[in-house]
Structure 1
Amino acid sequence: MTSTTIRAPLNPATLVDEPFVRFAVTDIDGVCRGKHLSGEKVASMLKGGGTIASALFGWDIADELYDNVSFTGFHTGYNDIGLQLDASTARQLPWDDNRWLILGEHVNADGTPLAICPRQVLKKVLKKAESMGFTPMVGVEFEWFVLKETEISLREKGFRNLQTASQGLTNYSPFRLSAEHGFVRDLFDYLPKIGIPLEALHTEAGPGNFEAAIRYGTAIEAADRAMLFKQAVREIGRRHGLINTFLAKYSTAYAGCGGHMHQSLWKDGANAFFDAKGDHGMSETMRQYVAGQLHCLPQLFALYAPFINSYKRLVDNNLAPTKPTWGIDNRNVSLRVIPGSASSLRLETRTPGADTNPYLGIAAAVASGLYGIENKLSLQAPVTGANKGAEGMERLPRTLSEATENLERSALARELLGDGFVTHFLQTRQWEVRRFNQAVTDWELQRYLELV
């Protein structure tokens, strides 16, 4: 069990003379937030912590203030919350003059973890895994679209008729990929230097559609890498005149963008998922882990598909899962068991989109799997081919509204992820649904304006 990580030789005292240092956290939607602070200020925060406005969890992805969340708002005055920087995450950004970047997480006034902080939610789940003797290892894949646009041109065009970075629909095409040679070169050059080892990069099923595989690591490393990958790709892309979008469904003309998660559990230096005598090499532990994810999937679906747009990706006959299914090396299913050796056998959870908050998606997946192990859940026969064997199975939620209702009814979600987190996440998804239901879309105008 090995992984590649970065351990910068960071002494807080060395930051004092830095003109500025960056820190980053994620909000509930997985958006990277942070500040540029003086080196002296960051050095002080590394020693004694700091604070940030609770508004970080009081606004949505468009920075509109929630009017329905209990955690913060006008009723609290948007008071401060605790902020702790994790010195072990420090890295220097080669595309930003080797500026230091440090990741953070949120705490209460007494120093205990803030229940709604995404990184703390994942760490809570990992403590559970540790108590059961397991170390979860995770690798994330991202599909996304690269656009030859700028922040200005997007708005000038009203986000319509956008130019992609490459043309033509050619999977695995070196020719299409080389259309943005400088951008691709910088990804392979810069990302490993900040502890994000790329294993593969190729074109996918649409013009400007790329896919990257990030080498596996511990679950917290994988989530940090996933968050940093998306931010780094955006920043590096901007320097090449490109906009990178991880929207789950960029266009109805092309397939959606997944954020697949590869997982295994390790115990005493060995892959606990592997049993040479088991069917397809699967141990009983792995079978229970898969059964746990299947059991929890409908209840926790909103964490894997957190936005209105997420559900435009999850449609039939498009290699995106629509039912709680599992199979052996089958890309039609929600949970794909990838057979292999004692070191490579793993589970790929294919439900999350590229828009998923990686901390919350990984937390949901691991917590569900551990639930299956703890409760010794049994696993039914796998589906085969185009979901043969799942004909009578109930479909997964079709909309964010439906997924949010499932989460609201789930006592299990609160047991696995915490009451405070689930309450806040529910309120933010209910807000998201309400904002959409109040919107007038282009589709409505084109379909109804002249004729009703």
Structure 2
Amino acid sequence: MALNDLADTLKERKINIVHVGQFDHAGIFRERRLPRDSFLEWADKPRFSNTVAIWDSSDNLFGPGPYLTEDVVIDPTSLRSYPFEPDAAAIIAEFSGDSAEIMPRAVLRRQVERAAALGLEVRAAFEFEVIFLDETAESLRTAGFAGLRSFAPDNKCWGGQTGANHAGFVAGLEDTLRATGVSVFGVSGELGPGCFEATLAAESPLKAADDAGFFRLATRAYARNHGKTASFMSCLGQGYPGLGGHVSLSLWDKATGKNVFSDPKNVTNPAALSFIGGMTRTVPEAFALCAHTVNAYRRYAPGSWAPKSVGWAELTFTTAVRSVPSQGGGARLEFRLPGADCNPYLTLALMLGAGLDGIEEKLSAPAPTPDNGPDDIPPGAIRLPGSLAEAAARLSASENARRLFGERFVNHFTRACEVEHASLARAVSTQEIERYLEG
């Protein structure tokens, strides 16, 4: 879409304010808010600060200069409604210069292009768990982020009573998500106080990842506008469940229009098994791509629901990869390892890149483990890294990751993970003080 066409679209949709930006490595949407005329003037030669590529979640720079603006390319297909102010929209503009190859959306796009070169179309969907707290930004800081007050503390997993008690809140959230252009399959209650789950609908991979990013933005804004806080931390602490950010994926043959994973016998077919074989090989090495925070690894502690290695089984919820076989279009693979704080672009790029390797090389999947619990490590399986520091070291050493995602990206993202680990390496929890202070 040319700039003139985009201008016409904005005018036709009566969009007077444009929020233009991109999601960074921490999953934060870094934007500029511009009136329509200012946006169109800027869009003639668009540039954005390259600090977006080297900011952590606390707005600290973790990379060297020079710090300047770089060329960006606006993706007109990413235009979506922005319901938090009247007559507004959001749109994504990606770096096209020096920082392009290290940004998450570009990493995913390269794997999508690879699939297209193989004659494959990708469809994907995310599913997120979220915990709502009865806290505002001010109350959290006044209390020093301690003694968190739960919303819906009486919630039962999939409990109809929760849905009835808080129907207005849940319906309002879903309305907000749809108004933000997020494709929603459903929103319902989940396990734990204030815990809900949103299943997003299947889309093209870039749209699916965009939806995931804007889902979290919209959910956080909706919560704050109702005097609450939405948490996507993988592990919020004692009394709260771990939060997942699962992604489902299917491949479609562009020539025939058929689902590559479907099977007339309603079983996991050879293509799906090879895809799983690729994930089994590469995910343990490049796990940081779907678990880039220190907190993410709390969710993989012993006794948690999250798997500790990359196993698989049909229809089983306790494995890293859940195969959903079908004779028709419903066949898909679900990657259940990522937490709710995952970067959706990098998570999907990891799953797709590793799986395409499996298909191209005709790799074999390990034996399914339907009876294993989350803490069980199947014979021959590699235990997942136990910390962000270990995950960063594995990523740096992974030849597969460097081949798939590029030397420069791997070096850059490894550095981001190392800095993130170091930021909390000397932090001491109240639980540690309680355990050791008087011992």
TM-score category, normalised to shorter length: over 0.9
Following the alignment from structure 2 to structure 1, what is the Cα–Cα distance between the partners of residues 260 and 45?
Answer: 38
Asked if the contact 1:138–1:217 (Cα under 8 Å) also holds between the matched residues in 2, the reply is yes
Following the alignment from structure 2 to structure 1, what is the Cα–Cα distance between the partners of residues 125 and 211?
Answer: 9
Q: Work out which of the residue numbers 213, 217, 228 in structure 2 matches 1:242.
A: 228
2:387 maps to 1:399: yes
1:167-186 to structure 2, matched below 5 A, reads 167-186=153-172
Following the alignment from structure 1 to structure 2, what is the Cα–Cα distance between the partners of residues 88 and 246?
Answer: 27
Q: Work out which of the residue numbers 9, 12, 16 in structure 1 matches 2:7.
A: 12
Cα displacement (A) at 1:14: 6.1
Following the alignment from structure 1 to structure 2, what is the Cα–Cα distance between the partners of residues 315 and 391?
Answer: 20
Query: Using a 3 Å threshold, how does the CA distance of structure 1 residues 373 and 94 change in structure 2: closer, same or farther?
Result: same
Partner residue in 2 for 1:4? none
Following the alignment from structure 1 to structure 2, what is the Cα–Cα distance between the partners of residues 94 and 322?
Answer: 40
2:61 maps to 1:62: no
Cα displacement (A) at 1:156: 0.6
Q: What amino acid does structure 2 have at the position aligned with 1:36? A: R
1:269-288 to structure 2, matched below 5 A, reads 269-277=257-265, 280-288=266-274
Partner residue in 1 for 2:436? 448
2:421 maps to 1:433: yes
Q: Work out which of the residue numbers 372, 390, 400 in structure 1 matches 2:358.
A: 372
SS of 1:394's equivalent in the other structure is coil
1:40-439 to structure 2, matched below 5 A, reads 40-46=37-43, 48-66=44-62, 69=63, 73=64, 76-108=65-97, 114-267=100-253, 268=255, 269-277=257-265, 280-387=266-373, 390=378, 393-439=381-427
User: Structure 2: 5+ residue runs without aligned partners?
Assistant: none
Partner residue in 2 for 1:3? none
Following the alignment from structure 2 to structure 1, what is the Cα–Cα distance between the partners of residues 6 and 169?
Answer: 32
Partner residue in 2 for 1:36? 33
- Identity percentage over the alignment? 32
User: Structure 1: 5+ residue runs without aligned partners?
Assistant: 1-8
Provide the aligned C-alpha RMSD in A: 2.1
Alignment deviations for residues 40-87 of structure 1 (CA, whole Å, 9 cap, x no partner): 1222344x3411111112221111222xx3xxx3xx231212222211
Query: Using a 3 Å threshold, how does the CA distance of structure 1 residues 281 and 384 change in structure 2: closer, same or farther?
Result: closer
Greater shift, 229-238 or 173-182, is seen at 173-182
Cα displacement (A) at 1:209: 0.6
Asked if the contact 1:18–1:40 (Cα under 8 Å) also holds between the matched residues in 2, the reply is no
Q: What amino acid does structure 1 have at the position aligned with 2:33? A: H
Q: What amino acid does structure 1 have at the position aligned with 2:161? A: F
Tell me the number of residue pairs that the alignment of Structure 1 and Structure 2 aligns.
430
Asked if the contact 2:243–2:339 (Cα under 8 Å) also holds between the matched residues in 1, the reply is yes
SS of 1:85's equivalent in the other structure is strand
